[in-house]
Structure 1
């Protein structure tokens, strides 16, 4: 075959034939080559680094900030997020009037981190608060009316939902009926039909123009706390000057890495500065987990994503979902060590369960889709799977088959709890919401790269067909 004359197709680094008999060519088109050259010349970057940046879509003007991200340059005015000012004023009012606050979080790392951030902030100002994490099996994802009633009965005059709540119409209506305000801080995709709440801070709501839709929930919570602290300082609150939000960036970085949101813009600053905070080991809970995981050397994103995150998640997957959030709020090293030990044990149990479930899921996937090359979406299901681990199975299937994938655990009554993981370029959350609109799901939601759903057994076949048809063209162009 003739070698193209286009200079972009010349052998990269002069490698005409590699050890595996492959010819190396640049992945950059001519525009990308030009962008890399401009970066190298304008900013004095090595050619290979400039090429990597260009391949990631970084522009010439963004290159320096991409390599050295700072909060000062990348953090927006929090008020640019729709309803952020309204949420901050309501939280500040609760602090000034010493109202009891309930924090309703999700059971994953992002939910635990978001809950811990809000709890630590309120505790600094002497506000009594309670963290409520729902049981994954018995309550499912997000607020429910019974939980709202329980929190209000316990004395809550304000409920703040974090990493959930954007689609919880019934639960939030129950709180409104009892004249208790709810502030929702979330990042999951939401339709134009917004729930009844005092404020909904979600950069992925349709009327939000902040451009911060890539943030995880903890990243959004941090911005709300920045806005709240600004109000309290302007009002001269005596404790407002003695708090440093930057000390909690380790928690924000943990959530950002573990929620696998894009590492661009403000997220890069969160992670870079959060890693510095983590290396000071100021959080007793994180430090206990570092020791339990046998951490050697400075904290890196790998440690967050593969050592710490799975242990925090283990509680919500197969045991007490509140363990992770509780751990991140602790200053007592003894209690932190005890919870870290328990989470480590649960993580080992989870690993055994995951291995068995994955073997069954892969067998079903091969039986249903062959090698997966002809599939657009992989959907597996089983009556004996643990619903807390289906997200991990979906992630493994996605990696193996290079397709968006779902794993669904059905209970004896035919109700399935499922989780999905997507590939770059395919919006899974949008597809799941469309299935809800079609009446194929009891409920469902998520964001571009991950989603959760509840489905009845007799609709599984139709759901498979809907997902396959909906994703066919887009996935075919991506793989």
Structure 2
């Protein structure tokens, strides 16, 4: 609290069935009042806005962000002017420019942004995406050799390259120019090339470290327009209107789970508005292949419908499918690519389910998830490296600590892994330290996610290194692992009107969490265990009012068991979701946590 005293537990929940404390998100009363008066908001919504760190003078820009108010000066990014100059110079001179992209959504979106800008300038930009299995993450000497042999003069790396010092040095040796556009953590010494643009580069003063690579590329497009304009390149052609491609910037921001504040929030919110027209042939075709219907685009479209399908190509299929889909203007090609990605996504789910079940069983048999360790590291022979990151995320949710899942190639004894972290524990920094100490063959990432390559015979050493490295951050991470409530509502208060009111805070993501509501004293009625460990039920209050509810992947956990037992008197925290089935315009309560006041807390 403002006076330094501890914030009391909300509904007196000091230990929920998942072991967490509940509290109301703290907010300054003066800021709440200012938002109510200036913006005409009711108290719960004004409180939620203040609780997200939005100052009294920032409310209007937060609720209705504009590029005009929030767009950064491209020159504030270290090397941005050098990157724009090099690219425009190559374009004017007719040199062969290629883009080298990562195989995830952010990489595909970044590549598609550049391809579309080049196309608007009358040039084609070939795409190179490394194969996850045979080439691994990021640029390599072999990849640059291939690009050089194909006639490339300049390579723009997107969503990768900032830590590829050795590979970029090789590119220079063979006479290949390189411009790096990235957002990942990197070493103090950048790769030696024409330009390294990365808001997280040591010494960069842009203040835009929460951008995904697609956001950095979007700023680069503005810099390219400015440089081209200064050279008179728009004397006989229209300047590309980069706003038409905001949907691609939003895809990268949402799917890379970036902090949606400031300029990044504007990119994402306005990008979802552009996406809503479904003018990008690839996104339109992929939405149709998924079975979803067109309409206003939400974060859910990018994060849970489109994103996983685009990622499926890089995970278990052809790595360039996503970039090709997002950059094509041919509806027939888009339809073919979308159907292939949708089929790959179905196969990916099956592989992911098998690895998740095996990894869960093996860890819980050893007890390593509950032995007080700072991080869980689990490896298995021939686990598909394309799904280990998803599995790590699932297990992090289950055990509420950083998890690294490694798939080991039984033939060569090399493991490729991916990790997901808890707030307060910087996994990317720890992985970078492991690489620096020679424990890893390769590794990097950011605070909440990281990738690595390790010899199978050093996995135990890696586990010990990371537990030692992260132990100092563990207590703080556990202390902030709270369920933070925005408002208390009864089942009667879980209405469409409340849902739509709080939707003004969207898009949601890190630094702008989706509103969390609490309902007290309810009983779970008509509970049903579903495939995948989900539980459906109806939450019924003492007054008889009820709301439909669902809890994900919890049937074998204490909270899920309480629901399935039909327990009454429960306190439940969760999110309101639209329920538009058959045009009903209702809501469903998505359960995050459950507390039983009768249990010792």
Residue 72, structure 1, aligned to residue 71, structure 2:
no
Residue 449, structure 1, aligned to residue 448, structure 2:
yes
Native 8 Å contact 2:116 2:327 kept in 1: yes
For residue 205 of structure 1, what is the aligned residue in structure 2?
201
When the two structures are aligned, how many residues end up with a matched partner?
A: 468
For residue 244 of structure 1, what is the aligned residue in structure 2?
241
Question: Could you give the per-residue CA deviations for residues 391-412 of structure 1, whole angstroms, max 9, x where no partner exists?
Answer: 1011101111111111101102
| Cα distance in 1 for residues equivalent to 2:124 and 2:178 | 16
Residue 270, structure 1, aligned to residue 267, structure 2:
yes
User: Secondary structure of 2:28's partner?
Assistant: helix
Residue 182, structure 1, aligned to residue 181, structure 2:
no
Looking at secondary structure, tell me which structure has more helix per residue: 1
For residue 466 of structure 2, what is the aligned residue in structure 1?
467
Native 8 Å contact 1:316 1:388 kept in 2: yes
Q: 1:11-410, aligned counterparts within 5 Å?
A: 27-29=24-26, 32-238=28-234, 241-296=238-293, 297-372=295-370, 374-410=372-408
User: Secondary structure of 1:303's partner?
Assistant: helix
| Cα distance in 1 for residues equivalent to 2:23 and 2:64 | 26
Native 8 Å contact 1:99 1:127 kept in 2: no
Q: 1:410-425, aligned counterparts within 5 Å?
A: 410-412=408-410, 413-425=412-424
| Cα distance in 2 for residues equivalent to 1:10 and 1:168 | 48
Question: Could you give the per-residue CA deviations for residues 34-86 of structure 1, whole angstroms, max 9, x where no partner exists?
Answer: 43234334443321112212322222222222211111111100110000000
| Cα distance in 2 for residues equivalent to 1:255 and 1:125 | 23
User: Secondary structure of 1:214's partner?
Assistant: coil
For residue 437 of structure 2, what is the aligned residue in structure 1?
438
| Cα distance in 2 for residues equivalent to 1:356 and 1:433 | 30
Deviation at 1:204, TM superposition (A): 0.4
For residue 3 of structure 1, what is the aligned residue in structure 2?
none
| Cα distance in 1 for residues equivalent to 2:436 and 2:314 | 29
For residue 457 of structure 2, what is the aligned residue in structure 1?
458
Native 8 Å contact 1:100 1:127 kept in 2: no
Change (3 A) 1:426 1:60: farther
| Cα distance in 2 for residues equivalent to 1:11 and 1:177 | 61
Change (3 A) 1:11 1:217: closer
Deviation at 1:124, TM superposition (A): 1.7
Looking at secondary structure, tell me which structure has more strand per residue: 2
User: Secondary structure of 1:281's partner?
Assistant: coil
| Cα distance in 1 for residues equivalent to 2:201 and 2:74 | 15
| Cα distance in 2 for residues equivalent to 1:39 and 1:302 | 27
| Cα distance in 2 for residues equivalent to 1:64 and 1:373 | 47
TM-score by length of 2: 0.75
Change (3 A) 1:355 1:236: same
Deviation at 1:431, TM superposition (A): 0.9
Structure 1: 5+ residue runs without aligned partners? 1-5
Question: Higher relative CO (CA 8 A, sep ≥ 6), structure 1 or 2?
Answer: 2
Deviation at 1:371, TM superposition (A): 4.7
Deviation at 1:194, TM superposition (A): 1.2
User: Secondary structure of 1:129's partner?
Assistant: coil
Deviation at 1:9, TM superposition (A): 6.5
Native 8 Å contact 2:310 2:322 kept in 1: yes
Native 8 Å contact 1:284 1:336 kept in 2: yes
| Cα distance in 2 for residues equivalent to 1:425 and 1:53 | 22
Change (3 A) 1:438 1:327: same
User: Secondary structure of 1:134's partner?
Assistant: coil
Native 8 Å contact 2:309 2:342 kept in 1: yes
| Cα distance in 1 for residues equivalent to 2:6 and 2:62 | 25
User: Secondary structure of 2:126's partner?
Assistant: strand
Native 8 Å contact 1:27 1:55 kept in 2: no
| Cα distance in 1 for residues equivalent to 2:237 and 2:396 | 46
Native 8 Å contact 1:318 1:388 kept in 2: yes
Native 8 Å contact 1:104 1:131 kept in 2: yes
User: Secondary structure of 1:347's partner?
Assistant: helix
RMSD: 2.2
Native 8 Å contact 1:99 1:128 kept in 2: no
TM-score by length of 1: 0.93
Native 8 Å contact 2:402 2:419 kept in 1: yes
Native 8 Å contact 2:121 2:240 kept in 1: no
| Cα distance in 1 for residues equivalent to 2:382 and 2:105 | 25
Deviation at 1:331, TM superposition (A): 0.7
User: Secondary structure of 2:136's partner?
Assistant: coil
Deviation at 1:127, TM superposition (A): 2.3
